[in-house]
Amino acid sequence: MTTSPDSVKHRARVVPADSAGIAEAARVLAGGGLVAFPTETVYGLGADATDARAVARLYAAKERPTFNPLIAHLASADAAKEIGRLNATASRLAEKFWPGPLTLVVPALPRCPVCELARAGLDTVALRVPAHPVANPLLRAVGKPVVAPSANRSGHVSPTTAVHVLTDLRDRIDLVLDGGPTPLGLESTILDCTREQPRMLRPGTIPRGDIEEFLGMAIADSMPVGGEAPAAPGQLASHYATRAKLRLDADSVRPDEALLAFGPSLPQGAERTAYVLNLSPNGDLVEAAANLFAHLRALDATDVHAIAVAPIPTTGLGEAIRDRLLRAAAPRP
Ligand code: AMP
Ligand code: MG
């Protein structure tokens, strides 16, 4: 590593959350940048949910060791209905609790623009419409869904002030929109609304009892999401899995396999297979993360019975990529 001016780390700028600041934040987000902004729960680290590269950079900034699906934030219930299918129960919940700290997981519509990486390859999408007086106009100005997991490094405490954000992410993000301390400090309640009876995925700010009372219906039992080990076999279904068998760390390819390559040099036998996709021809892990789920899906849509996956480095985003490949390769119940 040299110490040329180019390698000097850039520092996030902090702007007040007035109308000029919000307009600037919207421009940075639309241009693929990373912007921390206040919501009613905690500060979120925002990225354009439709831009897989921006989402990959977000994961790199947070140093998350795994690609959990992220929540798509929208300015209104109408905007949310453009990307996910709300059943009768979900529609009632949206009408009652949006805008507000409630996240609904629903089937993604075919035209859903939220990228595969943000959805971790799933056919569902998590939707939230924040009420916060900075977050909401920001989302309106961006005009696209924005993912915004908490603006901290993985394993650190969720930030409720701009200073917390800077402590963790100062040299990894583009902008912090300072709107003062966040009012709630606790994360949104997440409900799986893929069936008429909702299921609790994460307890949060809106109490379970309030939701049950409003619906006149019990919420099904909670199961940990994104935890290390699945709590029940059914939980495995919340991970993307391929139909074709995945063969990881392959140093050669068989003629009846597809190849998911990484980097400039291809494994032995690559020229004999009909299907090759490269996660990143120059070996860039951010690009590889951005392509991961879309490439897996494309190769899985061919008629091959197995996909050989070239070795992926264990550094940086490589850890999260390898984690998801392992999960995708795990036997299904
Ligand atoms: P965070 O963005 O840090 O608030 O965390 C997002 C939470 O939403 C994680 O617990 C995810 O596992 C969960 N989540 C997001 N999308 C989905 C989905 N499609 N299905 C199930 N859980 C989801
Ligand atoms: Mg967090």
Interval 230-283: pLDDT, tens: 333 334 446 788 999 999 999 999 999 999 999 999 999 999 998 999 999 999
Cα-based angle 95, 96, 99 (whole degrees, multiple of 5):
75
pLDDT score of 333: 55
225 lines ligand 1 (CB under 6 A): yes
Tell whether the model's pLDDT for residue 314 goes beyond 60. Answer: yes
| Alpha-carbon span 273 to 258, nearest angstrom | 6
pLDDT in tens, 44-78: 999 999 999 999 999 999 998 899 999 999 999 99
* CB 129 within 8 Å of CB 80: yes
Predicted confidence (pLDDT) per residue in 160-218, tens digit: 999 999 999 999 999 999 999 998 877 899 999 999 999 999 988 899 999 999 999 99
Which ligand 1 atom is at minimum distance from the Cα of 122? 19
Q: Which segments within the chain are labelled E, that is strand? A: 13-16, 35-38, 43-48, 71-73, 102-107, 124-128, 146-147, 175-178, 189-192, 199-202, 245-247, 257-261, 276-278, 306-309
- Model pLDDT, residue 187: 84
CA distances from 197 to 26, 180, 190, 214 (A): 36, 37, 14, 13
| CB atoms closer than 10 angstroms to residue 302 | 12
Q: What's residue 241's pLDDT?
A: 87
For residue 232, the model assigns a pLDDT of 39
| Ligand 1 pocket residue status of 179, Cβ below 6 Å | no
Q: How far is the CA of 244 from the centre of ligand 2 (A)?
A: 33
Domains and CATH numbers, the chain: 5-215 (3.90.870.10), 245-329 (3.40.50.11030)
Structure tokens at 164: 């917390």
pLDDT in tens, 299-308: 999 999 999 9
End-to-end CA distance of the chain: 47
Ligand 1 atom 6, closest CA: 70
Q: Write down how long the chain is.
A: 333
Task: List C-alpha distances in Å: 40 to 31, 99, 164, 310.
Answer: 25, 10, 16, 43
Ligand closest to 70 (CA) is 1
Q: Is 325 exposed, middle or buried (0-12, 13-18, 19+ CB in 10 A)?
A: buried
pLDDT on residue 236: 40
Mutate to test the pocket of ligand 1, among 45, 58, 119, 190 (most ligand atoms within 8 A of CB): 190
pLDDT value, residue 239: 79
Ligand 1: which of 83, 114, 168, 202 to mutate, most ligand atoms within 8 Å of CB?
202
Which residues, other chains included, contact 209 with Cβ-Cβ below 8 Å and sequence gap of 6+?
none
The percent of residues above 70 in pLDDT, for the chain, comes to: 92
| CA pair distance 1, 124, nearest whole angstrom | 42
Residue type, 12: A
Average pLDDT for the chain? 91
Predicted confidence band of residue 3 (pLDDT cuts 50, 70, 90): very low
Model confidence, pTM = 0.88
- Estimate the crossing angle of helix 285-300 against helix 318-329, to 10 degrees: 20
The preferred substitution site among 64, 70, 102, 127 for testing ligand 1, maximizing ligand atoms within 8 Å of CB, is 70
Residue 238 has a pLDDT of: 65
| DSSP alpha helix (H) spans, 63-104 | 77-81, 88-97
Nearest ligand to the C-alpha of residue 41?
1
